[in-house]
Chain A
């Protein structure tokens, strides 16, 4: 195989592929990227860790059709180190490949193309189409609440739940929960979907998906999810587990409702968080007539106290929260005001944008 391609065309798709390739691999082939050039002069690149597979496409300047597999990181590092306007030629030669550009020449090892693993997928049970921006914002609004390496493996991912018209995405780590809902443009079948996509795949998707109004396709079967963008095909295994019943923990009625300016509340919490216990990060909120007081203290008996105005009428309530959970939820809301509803010091708090019943954040309190 021989291929010539501009650095500009190669670099970005290559970074997407490389980001799923793990740095340390037990199987040498998994540190490689598979390059395939077809007769139309389109180069496709594949990277995988056996759970997630990314295939990107980019146009070549010229070349002979063929395939080759070489170390992903080295190819990326070489590409990055070349000048921006460079043209890169890759020539396969027996068990080696030569990468040339201008006066630079690199000889790297290759591995047999037949050994490169492909995720085998059966037929898709369901395919949705929806705008790229809608999908991306659904991930961005919820993914931060996913668990990390929790023993309850089904929490280490994002739930996609759909009856066929709407898509709900839900993430929880057992202490807080994020849920959002959006409309699908079209669906191929009437299959409903309840699938958990692993954390790594969600994080990669957020990196790969670029803002824009174009439509994208999302397909599911019982084992895999596939996302098809303009020049990227992203496939991930699903987590085989049962997501907890999230509707049960979203309170339907809470007696205390307050509104507060988002930025002011965010800044107040950030200031108070400096003197929280570094490990547990508890802050105390005291909500009373038209104000919220925030206080924190740490094991060294240092204290922070802050206050801000809020729209609230009702009896005083004092409740503790992990300040990190509060700030995460507030960051995910993009209106100027936020609405918080509470019941008592032992029940969850709900955070949302005012009048928004699509997106909701639930945070369990701390006993302080």
Chain B
């Protein structure tokens, strides 16, 4: 293939994946220059005992995510324990994602520390995709002081595969016309989204590498997995057809859970925790203009989850209704078992304010909620809240990997205001 000539041409499709490595730890190191080059472990608050993530220096000692702090200290006595600051990470993430949007509006924010950019249509503006990729790296560093690894290719899967290659500060380019060849001997389970189950099915057909899969008839995958199966077939040839998801799809559920002191048997305490989670769920439904009618309410006991689905009369976004369902659940299903975790999840969130009802009129509660929401928007979560919540647990919020700087997944309220 005449590569130099093709190099000069515009790519038919050019996708960049940006992956901020050891994101939370890197932010802490950037904010605490004295920690540069030292092993840092992030825990959930000072009381948290579990390593959420750690810096590259700590990983060199064999420290892994999910490890207990105690075990980590055995491997690396000098590890610096740093309580997580979700608001700060959210702020940095938002800043990075916003900066990236200056490069192209075609951006899919894949998680708190990953984003896909489709730069196909910016090649005339910025030049070769590789040049744009370098620009992306520099931009991320300028905005946040955090290093990132970048993968560039002609589709999402190959770009993601490329970004894994050179961590923590790499730039890997796989031109689309080389993608198939580069993936040929790569085990298929190394591609993003192909897990054990699919891998085992493919192994039954004697396909272990991407090249093997590409040689299978597409119908073998389609029969077992339908359209996602067909996509896998293309993914393995470096031709993942999936476009970037530019809009956050509507949520399938919205839930909050919290760990309680072990073996809690006090009904008031249970109801308080459920109320706390219910208010959070309701506030989040309202923030995104959603309502739900079916709620999962669960209490985790030593024997597993004690849980049920509760249905409200009409779709609701009001904490009062959610609390009523929770206490109904406690009355029906809880018989004094010791509980160490609670969960409240809205199972069928859908856009609110659609169809109006003939027989109900709850404008007053809606007004109260609206006021409460605008106060809390300005002064922080639960600045204004039902009085019972004064006694709530003050364990800090946890940031989920699926967090995004906008849309329904934004559970961490901004303290600093990035907009």
Contact = CB atoms under 8 A, between A and B. Distances in A.
B355 A175 contact: yes
B358 A280 contact: no
Given A174-B360, A280-B354, A366-B355, 18 more contacts: A151-B311, A172-B358, A175-B356, A175-B357, A176-B358, A249-B358, A279-B350, A280-B351, A280-B355, A282-B354, A322-B355, A346-B356, A348-B358, A364-B356, A364-B358, A365-B356, A366-B356, A367-B356
Contacts of B359: 174, 244, 249
Query: Can you list the 8 inter-chain pairs with the closest CB atoms, starting with the nearest?
Result: A364-B356, A367-B353, A249-B358, A244-B359, A151-B313, A280-B354, A366-B355, A366-B354
Nearest to B247: A299
B312 A151 contact: yes
Interface of B: 311-314, 350-351, 353-360
A62 interface: no
Contacts of A322: 355
Interface in A5-64: none
A268 B354 CA distance: 22
A277 to B, nearest CB: 9
A152 interface: yes
Contacts of B356: 175, 346, 364-367
Contacts of A244: 358-359
A172 B313 CA distance: 15
19 contacts: A151-B312, A151-B313, A174-B314, A174-B357, A174-B358, A175-B355, A176-B358, A244-B359, A249-B358, A279-B350, A280-B354, A280-B355, A322-B355, A346-B356, A364-B355, A364-B358, A366-B354, A367-B353, A367-B356
A175 B360 CA distance: 10
Chain A at the B interface: SS class: loop
Contacts of A342: none
A33 B358 CA distance: 42
Contacts, number: 40
Centre residue among A174, A362, A364 by max chain B CB count within 10 A = A174
A317 B168 CA distance: 60
Contacts of A279: 350
Contacts of A365: 356
Given A174-B359, A244-B359, A249-B359, A367 B354 contact: yes
Interface string A161-187: 000000000001011110000000000
Interface string A339-368: 000000010100000000000001011110
Given A151-B313, A152-B313, A177 B353 contact: no
Nearest to B360: A174
A151 B350 CA distance: 18
Contacts of A348: 358
B297 to A, nearest CB: 16
A346 B314 CA distance: 19
Interface string A114-130: 00000000000000000
A175 B357 CA distance: 5
A281 to B, nearest CB: 9
A249 B360 CA distance: 11
B324 to A, nearest CB: 13
Centre residue among B313, B350, B351, B358 by max chain A CB count within 10 A = B358
Nearest to A245: B359
Contacts of A366: 354-356
A367 to B, nearest CB: 5
Contacts of A176: 358
A249 B356 CA distance: 13
A237 B312 CA distance: 26
A144 to B, nearest CB: 16
A346 B354 CA distance: 11
Nearest to A152: B313
A150 to B, nearest CB: 8
Contacts of B358: 172, 174-177, 244, 249, 348, 362, 364
A134 to B, nearest CB: 27
Nearest to B249: A299
A175 B311 CA distance: 18
B329 to A, nearest CB: 15
B354 to A, nearest CB: 5
Nearest to A348: B358
Contacts of B351: 280
Contacts of B353: 367
Contacts of B313: 151-152
Interface string A269-295: 000000000011010000000000000
Interface in A106-165: 151-152
A24 to B, nearest CB: 22
A361 B215 CA distance: 61
A246 to B, nearest CB: 9
Contacts of B360: 174
Interface in A230-253: 244, 249
Contacts of B314: 174
A34 to B, nearest CB: 37
A289 to B, nearest CB: 27
Contacts of A249: 358-359
Nearest to A175: B355
B252 to A, nearest CB: 14
Nearest to A150: B313
B363 to A, nearest CB: 11
Contacts of A172: 358
A367 B356 CA distance: 8
B135 to A, nearest CB: 31
B243 to A, nearest CB: 13
A177 B313 CA distance: 18
Contacts of B354: 280, 282, 366-367
B289 to A, nearest CB: 11
Contacts of B311: 151
Contacts of A151: 311-313
B281 to A, nearest CB: 19
